[in-house]
């Protein structure tokens, strides 16, 4: 039988992806105790880490260690909101070529509080820039109510698709972030926008 499970990339050129998957395992499985698969007990990958996924990865420019990352999935293909959490969208999960899901927003915990804030702001800014240059007019995602309150304070146009639903210790909801000409000025007004000082790598998994 052919093994269809996702595999962490092994080529040297995929070092940024490997660092991201290792950081995700440390954050989401070891620290947050999410019930997720771990490849070789080192990397966190799920069924949505596939050739359709795109990744934005911020690395330290000196030692190239992982600082922050996020996964982007087209909503025209399988994604978390459409396939696992459609009940969070009373009007149906969005599906359009200009709408992408953002998930696995990961900040490496081996940073000072100031470094984490800076990495977060640079990643948010990179996500906005990427959308504006890629024809993405909306990001969608899933968040617990505490993280949604934080996301909503960044300065971009953020809305919930429906009421929060129970899920473990904290209710979760589906949200959308509109990306347009007002997005960057909004991030700048709140002090969230940050110039890119870390090394930005964009990547994808080979078929």
* DSSP letter (8 states) at residue 180: S
Contact 107, 27 (CB under 8 A): yes
- CATH of the structural domain 12-203, one choice from 3.40.50.300, 3.90.1150.10, 3.40.1080.10, 3.40.630.30: 3.40.630.30
Q: Residue 54 and residue 28: Cα distance in Å, rounded?
A: 19
The one-character DSSP state at 198 is S
Q: What is the pLDDT of residues 27-69, one digit of tens each?
A: 999 998 888 988 888 999 999 999 999 999 999 998 889 999 9
Could you give the CA distance from residue 80 to residue 86 in angstroms, rounded to a whole number?
A: 8
Mean pLDDT score of the chain: 91
What is the token pair recorded at 108?
A: 């490496």
With cut-offs at 50, 70 and 90, classify the pLDDT of residue 157.
very high
**Residue matched to tokens 């200009």:** 98
Torsion sign across C-alpha atoms 179, 76, 79, 44:
negative
Q: What is the pLDDT of residue 6?
A: 54
- SS3 assignment, position 107: strand
Tokens of 146: 């505490």
Q: What sections of 12-57 are H helices per DSSP?
A: 15-24
Lowest mean pLDDT among 4-8, 102-106, 197-201: 4-8
- Phi/psi at 48 (5° precision): -95, -5
88's torsion region: left (phi>0), alpha (psi -120 to 50) or beta?
alpha
How confident is the model at residue 2, as a pLDDT? 35
Under a CB-based contact definition with an 8 Å cutoff, are residues 201 and 195 in contact?
Answer: no
Confidence of residue 169 (pLDDT cuts 50, 70, 90): confident
Say what percent of the chain tops pLDDT 90. 80
φ/ψ bin of 77: left (φ > 0), alpha (ψ from -120 to 50), beta (otherwise): beta
Task: Specify the pairing of strand 138-144 against strand 99-107.
Answer: parallel
Q: Which two tokens stand for residue 166?
A: 């129970």
3-class SS at 73? strand
In the three-class reduction of DSSP (H, G, I as helix; E, B as strand; rest coil), residue 124 is classed as helix
- Residue spans of alpha helices (H) in 135-173: 145-152
pLDDT (tens digit per residue) in 69-115? 999 999 999 999 999 999 999 999 999 999 999 999 999 999 999 99
């Amino acid at each position: 039988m052919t093994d269809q499970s996702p595999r962490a990339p092994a080529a040297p050129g995929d070092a940024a992806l490997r660092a991201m998957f290792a950081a995700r395992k440390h954050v989401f499985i070891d620290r947050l105790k999410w019930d997720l698969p771990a490849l070789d007990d080192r990397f966190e990958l799920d069924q949505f880490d596939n050739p359709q996924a795109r990744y934005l990865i911020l690395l330290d420019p000196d030692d190239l260690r992982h600082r922050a990352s996020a996964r982007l999935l087209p909503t025209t293909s399988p994604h978390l909101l459409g396939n696992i959490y459609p009940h969070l969208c009373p009007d149906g999960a969005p599906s359009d070529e200009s709408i992408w899901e953002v998930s696995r927003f990961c900040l490496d915990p081996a940073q000072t509080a100031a470094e984490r804030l800076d990495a977060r702001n640079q990643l948010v800014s990179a996500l906005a820039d990427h959308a504006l240059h890629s024809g993405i007019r909306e990001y969608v995602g899933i968040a617990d109510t505490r993280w949604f309150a934080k996301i909503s304070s960044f300065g971009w146009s953020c809305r919930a698709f429906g009421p929060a639903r129970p899920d473990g210790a904290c209710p979760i909801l589906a949200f959308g972030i509109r990306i347009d000409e007002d997005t960057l000025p909004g991030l700048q007004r709140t002090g969230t926008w940050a110039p890119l000082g870390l090394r930005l790598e964009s990547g994808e998994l080979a078929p």
